[in-house]
Amino acid sequence: MKHRLMVIASGAALVAGLVAANTADAHGRSARAILANAEGARIGSVEFRTDDGHTEVRVRLTGAPGVDAFHGFHIHANDVPANGDGCVADPTTAPATWFVSADGHYNPTGAGHSHHVGDMPVVYVSADGSVETRFRIDRISPADLNGRVVVLHAGADNYANIPLGSLPTQYTANSADATAATAKTGNAGDRVACGVIASR
């Protein structure tokens, strides 16, 4: 009887170990953010999953602002406590103040814009306010995204492509300050939706 109990106990320990190992292997292979606008209304989700050495990003939004247009779409650092934490916005204030708590683009390597770890492709908001798209990124994994923030911007991201000269087709006025601003954010404009990422 004692021998049988030992076998059962050993088997239970083995099963528990396998479950723990599988849980550990699965942890951090996906992450998710729920996006909300400045009024706090949910507009959709962004999911991140490990896929063949890359991270697949799936975006589903409804009721997004700025229809029939491209919008800058980035991972922000959320790493300066003095600015607040996560997604903080007061809809009664100017849009320029919304979600500044998310801080700048996630850029641990100090790269130029379009090469930030947090840079992602622009997304297109359809006439009905919806977004349904997926793409791959390879600079960050879901496990490294926990606590970072996804931000949807009011304008498109020009990825710091700054035409030289004074023609009307250039993105910004031809000055050192304007060039620096474009190089930093791609002129994507105000932050209109935000969501904190949680690894799973």
Given the residues 32, 153, 157, 190, select the one marked as catalytic: 153
Whether residue 104 contacts residue 181, with contact meaning beta carbons closer than 8 Å, is answered with: no
Identify whether 115 is a catalytic site residue: no
Given the residues 32, 113, 139, 148, select the one marked as catalytic: 113
149-153 and 191-199 strand pairing? antiparallel
Three-state SS at 196: strand
Identify whether 3 is a catalytic site residue: no
Given the residues 32, 71, 76, 148, select the one marked as catalytic: 76
Specify the residue for token string 């000055």. 175
Given the residues 103, 119, 157, 190, select the one marked as catalytic: 119
Identify whether 200 is a catalytic site residue: no
Given the residues 105, 139, 144, 148, select the one marked as catalytic: 105
HSE at residue 84, side-chain half, CA atoms within 13 A, is 15
Identify whether 76 is a catalytic site residue: yes
Three-state SS at 86: coil
Identify whether 116 is a catalytic site residue: yes
Identify whether 27 is a catalytic site residue: no
Q: How many residues are present in the chain?
A: 200
Given the residues 71, 116, 139, 148, select the one marked as catalytic: 116
Q: For the residues of 16-39, what is the DSSP string, one character each?
A: HHHHHHHHHHHTTSEEEEEEEETT
CA-CA distances (angstroms) from residue 193 to 117, 124, 151, 170?
20, 14, 6, 27
Q: Pick from 142, 140, 134, 118: which is nearest to 29 by CA?
A: 142
Element holding 60 (H helix, E strand)? strand 54-61
Residues marked active site are found at: 74, 76, 105, 113, 116, 119, 153, 191
